[in-house]
Structure 1
Amino acid sequence: MDQVIVESATIGVVISLISYEIGIFMKNKLKLAIFNPLLVSIVLVILFLSIFHVDYDSYNSSAQYLAYLLTPATVSLAVPLYQQRELLKKHLMAILGGIVAGVLASLVTVWGMSVLFGLSHEAYVTLLPKSITTAIGMGVSEELGGYVTISVAIIIITGVLGNMSAEFVCRIFRIRSSISRGLAIGTASHAIGTAKAMEMGEVEGAMSSLAIVVAGLCTVVGASVFAYFL
């Protein structure tokens, strides 16, 4: 099977898409947040690679074409933000303040948990970029001396958990403002969470898209400072 994937240019893409479609089917059928399509697809791909003894590099080389779509997909997040530009201008300072507060909460939490559990400096800086996009998080982790591969895994897990729990958390804490919900989701769980924000509404999606960019920039600066705290 490994050789078949190596020789194929698209089978990795097919496996990924089928896994995701199964995830969508399970989510629509069972109506449970735990069956997040992305989470289900990750589990199914891992099981496939393990059962058929497929090397990850072989799968990745065959599925890399999906990664090429990441850039245009990310850029397209600017569309809902542009559509809500008047709302952005009206609440600019409150929006920026909310994002900065979210970034600080993330960094302080990582620092506090690292101190509590006695993590090494390398493990600590690996966790600092957990709430920003993978592309930025990898660079931050590498620059600070963290474990890049673990940072990627943590970032994905954070996004999936944010996607799964966003509506529940907003309901529990009675967060009814569309702006507040969007900012919270984007700041805490980057692009994967933003997918859920867009399902919740246009304003939520626009604010979450903005939060991805601003939170990423703030984390680059903030993580560099917090790296000296442990």
Structure 2
Amino acid sequence: MLNELLETTKYLGLAVSLGAFMIGLKLSKKYPYAFTNPLLIGTILVIGLILVLDIEVANFQKSAQVLSDLLTPATICLAVPVYRQFKILRENSWVVLISCLVGMISGLVTIIGLALILQMSETTTLSTLARSITMAIALDTTELIGGVAGIIVAGVIFAGIFGTVVSNLIFRIFRIEEPIAKGLAMGAASHAMGTAESLKASELQGAMSSLAMVVSGVMMVGLIPLAALFVQ
């Protein structure tokens, strides 16, 4: 019955997704812990609903398509804090470039290394290479090298959620307090989700994270095809 309702109701999936996120947001405000990230809670709630009610994923995805359509414009809007902090960003341009390059190369090496250890198939490996960049770039890049869209979507979401959940703990362990360093790490490792989390801390950290996300995405467009040749 719900599958039929999703097919006939254009925005039911959107309403369910937003409702799950709002529940996560309220829980996050009431219990401000790392694991109460609203996106994580919302994702778990939606997955649970799909499993319990035996909903066709394709029907739900179609009903929530507007969220995917808004992904690129939302990413572009992150340019606002970059513009506001442009002077500081320009003064640290080499730090940004080197940090992003090291982060992307280490990420690719880690993925390929794990793929070899776990004996992952070629298709699965190709579908996880872009997991450290924003969804708008990761999807197109993965499809171009022959990867599976569903796998990279899950990979990007997991990377974003995991980064936002463990980031504060990692920063405390390594005593990282500089907003520029935090922002670069979050943007390079957790893309848009990390940037959204960084904006909560400060505009400078958010601007650095946004810039790192964009620079990392551009770099990966060139690095991923090279890594794909090695995998193939």
Q: Same fold (TM over 0.5)?
A: yes
Q: Please name the residue that 2:163 is paired with.
A: 162
Q: Please name the residue that 1:194 is paired with.
A: 195
TM-score (norm 1): 0.94
Q: Please name the residue that 1:177 is paired with.
A: 178
| Matched-pair identity in % | 37
Over the aligned positions, Cα root-mean-square deviation in angstroms equals: 1.5
Q: Residue 72 of structure 2 contacts residue 136 of structure 2 at CA under 8 Å; is this kept in 1?
A: no
CA distance in 1, matches of 2:125, 2:56: 29
Q: Please name the residue that 2:108 is paired with.
A: 107
Q: Residue 124 of structure 2 contacts residue 151 of structure 2 at CA under 8 Å; is this kept in 1?
A: no
CA distance in 2, matches of 1:219, 1:20: 30
For 1:156-175, what per-residue CA distance to the aligned partner results, in whole angstroms no more than 9, with x for missing partners?
Answer: 10111011112211111111
Q: Please name the residue that 2:30 is paired with.
A: 29
Task: State the Cα distance separating 1:57 from its structure 2 match.
Answer: 2.3
Q: Please name the residue that 1:5 is paired with.
A: 6
Q: Please name the residue that 1:44 is paired with.
A: 45
Q: Residue 163 of structure 1 contacts residue 195 of structure 1 at CA under 8 Å; is this kept in 2?
A: no
Q: Residue 104 of structure 2 contacts residue 188 of structure 2 at CA under 8 Å; is this kept in 1?
A: yes
Q: Please name the residue that 2:15 is paired with.
A: 14
Task: State the Cα distance separating 1:189 from its structure 2 match.
Answer: 0.8
Task: State the Cα distance separating 1:116 from its structure 2 match.
Answer: 2.0
Question: Structure 1 residue runs of 4+, over 3 Å off?
Answer: none
Task: State the Cα distance separating 1:108 from its structure 2 match.
Answer: 1.2
Q: Please name the residue that 1:95 is paired with.
A: 96
Q: Please name the residue that 1:132 is paired with.
A: 133
Task: State the Cα distance separating 1:71 from its structure 2 match.
Answer: 2.7
Q: Please name the residue that 1:147 is paired with.
A: 148
CA distance in 2, matches of 1:130, 1:5: 29
Task: State the Cα distance separating 1:98 from its structure 2 match.
Answer: 1.0
Structure 2 counterpart SS, 1:130: coil
Q: Please name the residue that 1:68 is paired with.
A: 69
CA distance in 2, matches of 1:49, 1:127: 24
CA distance in 2, matches of 1:28, 1:3: 35
CA distance in 1, matches of 2:227, 2:68: 31
Letter in structure 1 aligned against 2:50? L
Structure 2 counterpart SS, 1:127: coil
Letter in structure 2 aligned against 1:139? D
Q: Residue 24 of structure 2 contacts residue 39 of structure 2 at CA under 8 Å; is this kept in 1?
A: yes
Q: Please name the residue that 1:217 is paired with.
A: 218
Q: Residue 13 of structure 1 contacts residue 63 of structure 1 at CA under 8 Å; is this kept in 2?
A: yes
CA distance in 1, matches of 2:10, 2:153: 25
Q: Residue 179 of structure 1 contacts residue 207 of structure 1 at CA under 8 Å; is this kept in 2?
A: yes
Residues 28 and 108 of structure 1, relative CA distance in 2, 3 Å threshold: same
For 1:124-180, what per-residue CA distance to the aligned partner results, in whole angstroms no more than 9, with x for missing partners?
Answer: 222211101112112222222222211111111011101111221111111121111
For 1:81-133, what per-residue CA distance to the aligned partner results, in whole angstroms no more than 9, with x for missing partners?
Answer: 00000001111112111111111111111122122222232222222111011
For 1:29-73, what per-residue CA distance to the aligned partner results, in whole angstroms no more than 9, with x for missing partners?
Answer: 222211211111111112222222222222222222233332332
CA distance in 1, matches of 2:142, 2:76: 23
Structure 2 counterpart SS, 1:131: coil
CA distance in 2, matches of 1:111, 1:67: 28
CA distance in 1, matches of 2:66, 2:140: 22
Q: Residue 138 of structure 1 contacts residue 152 of structure 1 at CA under 8 Å; is this kept in 2?
A: yes
